[in-house]
Amino acid sequence: MRRPFIAGNWKMYKDIDEAVALAGELARRLADPGEVDVAVCVNAVALAKVVEALKDSPVAVGAQNLHWKAEGAFTGEISAKMILSAGAEYVIIGHSERRHIFGETNEMVRDKLDAALAAGLRPILCVGERLEEREAGRTEAVVRDHVESALGGRPAEEVVKTTIAYEPVWAIGTGKTATPGQAQDVHAFIRGLVASGWGTEVAGAVRIQYGGSVKPDNVDGLMARPDIDGALVGGASLDAGSFERLVKFERA
């Protein structure tokens, strides 16, 4: 049985003081999150301070990005070693904003996944289509490309360590959300891809999150679907009460 995993992506919000305050509130509210794994992925400046604020809580901490090299002349970048030295466990890789605003390619995403896994970080690999791709009937082709380019050829143990986050780009920050049925269809497709490459046991162990305007009023319906194992949450993770409600979703 896959354990649900709810992760917040704070994006480029919260200075250090604000991030520490929100982390402290989450530590109080989520002292007992139940049978759910919880993490917050914060900006690099606040990373170490948020780790400290959450050290005695069940809420884990992650970074939002990393470079594929261990070190070097890469101004403004952050390495896996730096993330680990701050005390974080997770890292988001290939978020649509990184792909479509900053031009990350499939090759770059794979290199970043290599670096994260080699360092012992727990990656959250984002995949998903843009609106024009969905309207053109290319959702499965795009998702297949993202999944296979990142995970293809890897040993099963690396695949199981990777959380896959299906994030339809058209639903991120727009207020639009894939219906539970639409999300379930793509999650089932992703699980089928994993089963084809690594077998049903590995496919049954991989956690697949949904991301895209997840809110307290839609989380229950999403989490009721059999292949949706959690959520990667943007805006709703910036409010402690809202995020608490997502973590404590009502089970069907």
Characterize the bridge pairing of strands 163-166 and 208-210.
parallel
Q: Helix axis angle, 106-119 relative to 139-151, nearest 10°?
A: 40
Residues that are catalytic: 95, 167
What SS3 class is residue 43? coil
Extended strands (E) in the chain: 5-9, 37-41, 59-63, 90-93, 122-127, 163-166, 208-210, 230-233
Separation CA 204–CA 38 (nearest Å): 20
**Burial call 64-99: b when 16+ CB within 10 Å, e when fewer:** bbbbbeeeeeeeeebbbebbeebbbebbbbbbbbbb
Residue carrying structure tokens 């995993």 = 5
Q: How far is CA 202 from CA 81, 113, 151, 159, 215, in A?
A: 28, 18, 13, 8, 29
**Cross-strand bridge partners of residue 40:** 8, 61
